[in-house]
Chains A and B, each alone.
Chain A
Amino acid sequence: MSVLRTAGGFSLAYRPRGLAVGAGCAVLALVAAVFAIGSGSGDYPMSFGQVLRTLLGTGDPADEFIVNDVRLPRVATALLVGAALAVAGAVFQSVVRNPLGSPDVLGFTQGAATGALTVIVVFGGGSLALASGAVVGGLATGLLIYALAWRQGVHGYRLVLIGIGITAILTGVNGYLLTRAQITDAARAVLWITGSLDGRGWDDAMPLLVAMAVLLPVVLIGCARALHMLEMGDDAAFALGVRVERTRLTVLAAAVLLVSFGAAAAGPVAFVALTAPQLARRLTKSPGPNLLPSLCVGAALLVTADLAAQRVFADRQLPVGVVTGVLGGGYLVWLLATERKAGRI
């Protein structure tokens, strides 16, 4: 922990390693983004210089169309979704004090999936309706879980168990909706549940960008310190002047909104919310929620995963959720094996 002092008597405490990790991952994410724009999903290769020139507004018109209307929105969506899911995951893991307590496991993404599936199967709506369905479903599930877990405050483990129960119910409901669908709708629904960035435009990225512009300051500036203190236990945090229940409600609401909007943009991409905060924590080697490093790691993770999903198999493009699901599942098993020895799971 280092402290920066200004002449006026102000001071700012920061962790150099955390900052370095955050900056490193942000650079990695941007480089991967530029690389993804350059080679991208298409058959129109562009050099690194060409991409940079086009981004700065001095490229030729053909390049501009490819970059600004096709590849940039996709990459921007990937960066934003990765960042949103990662911050939400960091918040959840911090509140339930368990590395496995990510929104994938606790039913919030299942809720978003139920909302989206209802739109696809029952109403047959387009992409805007689908996105709204996901947001509504995620929010409703969040409210339900919070209400059921409430008993003179929300204890982390009650939240976990209620979330698991709700997940199991919603998995049943989602399975039912899938069996009711026509096979084409079912294929579309499974693609959405897995999470895919194919054909994402600015319409998908903008709502998420707005939501993040509002929510991230609330979490990162408003609640990060309180969240850090909450990890020491409710009593200690209360003694240090944290309004325990209000903080918890605020960060959970923000995290649920982030997950819902993220899922609305690209589907509930599996395990980004679980792995990104854990990777960030291992890189920074510092306790606490590690919100900012998680954000950068998440963005880098999703952009790289999308790049890999497009290029690993030459003949076919995979949805990004397949890559994160398989990698995240492997990481989860490793996490179970190692964290158990340390007694944290």
Chain B
Amino acid sequence: MTLVSLTKSPRAEADPTDPPPPAARPPGSGRHARRAAGLAGALLLLLVICALSLAVGAKPLSVGQAWSGLTDSASAEYTVVHEMRLPRTLLGLMTGVALGLAGGVMQALTRNPLGDPGLLGINAGAAAAVVSAISFLGITGFTGYVWFALAGAAAVSVLVYVVGGGRGATPARLALAGAALNAALFSYVNAVQLLDTASLDRMRFWTVGSLAGAHGDTVLRVAPFMAVGVVLAFALARPLNALALGDDSAQALGARPARARAGSMIAVTLLCGAATAACGPIVFVGLMVPHMVRTLTGPDMRWMLPYCAVLAPVLLLGADVFGRVVARPSELQVGIVTAVLGGPFFLYFVRRRKVARA
């Protein structure tokens, strides 16, 4: 349970319930109270989903059974809950937080509504690095390949930013550059798998994005990276708000654009790299959640990021639970569920908005 507090404590640190300076408050509105209440509601939803994730599976448990499995070491459900469901739920929780925050930060950084780390190839970069590590260097444990995942994510996020950060970059161009990178990286991953059938057998489950292989020690090892990334992301809320006004205005407001950008890149790299190393490349979570959140909170990052951090794991764990239920007795990997359910959202979004303007 220390882990939960670990991922949650930074949220409390940047907790927006402590009132911002009165000057920033629009006069005569109960907006902040409403947003705080909404956040509390979202947290409640997250709790419900976590309970579901503990209870639903190949061996369905009632909520009471799940609770006794969680707390009572003598109960029959103790092993199921502690060995399988709990690590899986915690990993889903952390990955969801990481992907949601990475998506929110990336969209603000590139000022681009399509800035999803999965869509832009950052997760695929981490995946390509991990696959190389597994296949060529024979590295197996999580501690070994998390560094490769971080390096791969960092390389691609720098590349995407260089391509997409230019003045002429439109959302569609950035998305296209990301898609092309994705295609290149996946063709590389395929090629490596092809040369080595034994690693294909292991990697084909990992490359679709799955929470099924979660162990307690994976959760423990991935936590520090994500914690640093989460703290960094919340610390960036104000500078990113300033950056949204343009570099000159941001500077006039006392923000340092170069530092904010570098910090954002580091945060995205940490969050995406660790998430991908733990459960494989997952797309669309980082795209959908910030858009849904923006309709609730507006563009203020100080509210957006906490909402993202709560609602993204709701989505990811929900997708995971759905994947366990829909294809009994086997299960659908969470990455497949998010791709197949998130895709239509993306299509709807692209058709509705005028992002297609070149």
Contact = CB atoms under 8 A, between A and B. Distances in A.
Interface in A95-110: 97-98, 100-101, 104-106
Contacts of A271: 183-184, 187
B63 to A, nearest CB: 30
B172 interface: yes
Interface string A288-327: 0000000000000000000000000000001101100110
A162 interface: yes
A148 interface: yes
A340 interface: yes
Of B166, B201, B356, chain A has the most CB atoms within 10 Å of the CB of B356
A321 B333 CA distance: 27
Contacts of A148: 347, 351
Contact of A164 (B119, B185, B357): B119
B356 A155 contact: yes
B150 interface: no
A160 B176 contact: yes
Contacts of B177: 100, 336, 345
Nearest to B173: A345
A104 B180 CA distance: 8
Given A168-B119, A194-B191, A157 B340 contact: no
Interface stretch (B79-87, B101-109, B192-200, B225-233): B192-200
A179 interface: yes
B194 A194 contact: yes
Given A168-B346, A172-B283, A340-B163, 5 more contacts: A97-B358, A105-B179, A183-B200, A187-B200, A191-B194
B203 to A, nearest CB: 10
Interface stretch (B44-52, B204-212, B244-252, B305-313): B204-212
Interface of B: 114, 118-119, 159, 162-163, 166, 168, 170, 172-173, 175-177, 179-188, 190-191, 193-195, 197, 200-201, 204-205, 207-209, 283-284, 332-333, 335-336, 338-340, 342-344, 346-347, 350-351, 355-358
Contacts of B159: 333, 336
A175 B333 contact: yes
Contacts of B344: 169
B176 A105 contact: yes
Contacts of B195: 318, 322
B228 to A, nearest CB: 29
Contacts of B185: 329
A171 B283 CA distance: 10
B176 A325 contact: no
B346 A325 contact: no
A322 B118 CA distance: 23
A191 B153 CA distance: 27
A226 B191 CA distance: 39
A176 B175 contact: no
A179 B205 contact: yes
Contact of B172 (A157, A178, A187, A337): A157
A318 B194 CA distance: 9
Interface string A195-238: 00000000000000000000000000000000000000000000
B204 A178 contact: yes
Interface string A124-167: 00000000000000000000000010010001111011101111
A161 B204 contact: no
Nearest to B210: A179
A172 B181 CA distance: 17
